[in-house]
Amino acid sequence: MARFIVRRLAGMVLVLFAVSVLVFAIFNLIPNSPPAQRLAGKNATPTLVKSIEKDWGFDEPLPVQYFETMKKIFTGELISYGDQLNVDERIVEGIPASFSLAIGAAVIWLFFGVLLGFLSATRAGGWLDRAITIGSVAGISIPVFLIATLFLYFLTYKVELFPASGYVPLLENPIQWAYHLLLPWFTLAILNIGFYSRVLRSNMLDVMREDYVRTARAKGLDERRIMIRHVLRNSLIPIITLFGLDFGATLFGGAIITEVIFSLGGVGQYAAESITNLDLPPLMAITIFGAFFVVLFNALTDVVYAYLDPRIRLGSSAQ
């Protein structure tokens, strides 16, 4: 197990390096305009462009530029050109709201995804199964901003059930915290409830055909026990991989649209503001951190997976 973890971590470091190079390339090499101009954004003054050219050392060789850029991002020296504020500080400020949103939504989508998937698979072919299947396709097809605007219009305006915007820190007032986040949580969760119930249903239907399930039935175990102990438990393992990827992506700047519509002031909203101002340094930092979270959770998932399934950690490949 220890060897597996070490190998996995080494792979992770390599991917992180590649990710940072790609982000550097996106903002410095691919586009067709001088890098200083691009970093400064469309509306920058010539003096600002000149000073950026000097600050970032765009006359230096590329590896030096890459190194300097990464140093700025990871030591918290990155300055945005829109408002001249420290980028990392703004990101840290946004983290409580973004994490609250992602964690709450994840709990909801796991709970309802597994519940609906289980109900659907155990009643395959019935009317409940059909209803859940149709609901799941609708769930994965509805754009996030449509759910959000429907919630806003009908539940905060037509019927004033919920607050329309704002984030209340958890430690300040836990009840208001949850009350303000309830609509954003469901907005973000609906897509994944649809996906997870579909994936779980199809996994469970596969597992039900396995020999050990027939054996359990032959032994005379009762149906509920078979469904929960044998079928559900084995069907949940692939869900863990999925969850690792999705959660990592949602945690850091992955819930941009939800954050924007409900004005939660998190990392995602900071990213969205930076698009409007065409202010690239914050986007660069958020993209790198966002990818780091995905890679980190991917690696964590693999370790958990290897713990649950010995065939993986004993295999030769670290994939």
Which residues here bind another protein, judged by CB under 8 A? Answer: 15, 18-19, 22-23, 26-27, 30-33, 37-38, 41-42, 137-138, 140-146, 149-150, 152-153, 157, 191-192, 195-196, 198-199, 202-203, 205-206, 238, 241-242, 245-246, 248-250, 252-254, 256-257, 260-261, 271-272, 274-276, 278, 280, 283-284, 286-287, 290-291, 294-295, 298
Q: What angle do CA 149, 150, 151 make, to 5 degrees?
A: 90
Output the smallest distance, CB 175 to another protein, in A. 26
Output the smallest distance, CB 240 to another protein, in A. 11
| Strand, helix or coil for residue 91 | helix
Whose Cβ is closer to another protein: residue 272's or residue 300's? 272
| Strand, helix or coil for residue 14 | helix
For residues 143 and 147, give the distance between their C-alpha atoms in angstroms, rounded to a whole number: 7
Output the smallest distance, CB 108 to another protein, in A. 14
For residues 95 and 1, give the distance between their C-alpha atoms in angstroms, rounded to a whole number: 33
Residue of 206, 224, 242 lying closest to 110 (CA atoms): 242
Instruction: Evaluate whether 88 touches 270 at the Cβ level (below 8 Å).
Output: no
Whose Cβ is closer to another protein: residue 80's or residue 177's? 80
Whose Cβ is closer to another protein: residue 136's or residue 177's? 136
Structure tokens at 22: 């790609």
Instruction: Evaluate whether 73 touches 28 at the Cβ level (below 8 Å).
Output: no
Output the smallest distance, CB 278 to another protein, in A. 6
For residues 154 and 11, give the distance between their C-alpha atoms in angstroms, rounded to a whole number: 48
Q: For residue 122, which phi and psi values (nearest 5 degrees)?
A: -75, -15
Quickly count: other Cβ atoms within 10 Å of residue 319's Cβ.
Answer: 8
What's at 86, amino acid-wise?
A: N
What's at 287, amino acid-wise?
A: T
Whose Cβ is closer to another protein: residue 9's or residue 150's? 150
Instruction: Evaluate whether 288 touches 20 at the Cβ level (below 8 Å).
Output: yes
Whose Cβ is closer to another protein: residue 177's or residue 301's? 301
Output the smallest distance, CB 314 to another protein, in A. 21
Output the smallest distance, CB 17 to another protein, in A. 10
**DSSP category for residue 158:** I
For residues 287 and 239, give the distance between their C-alpha atoms in angstroms, rounded to a whole number: 26
Whose Cβ is closer to another protein: residue 100's or residue 269's? 269
**DSSP category for residue 86:** B
Whose Cβ is closer to another protein: residue 177's or residue 207's? 207
Output the smallest distance, CB 256 to another protein, in A. 6
Instruction: Evaluate whether 20 touches 65 at the Cβ level (below 8 Å).
Output: no
Output the smallest distance, CB 260 to another protein, in A. 7
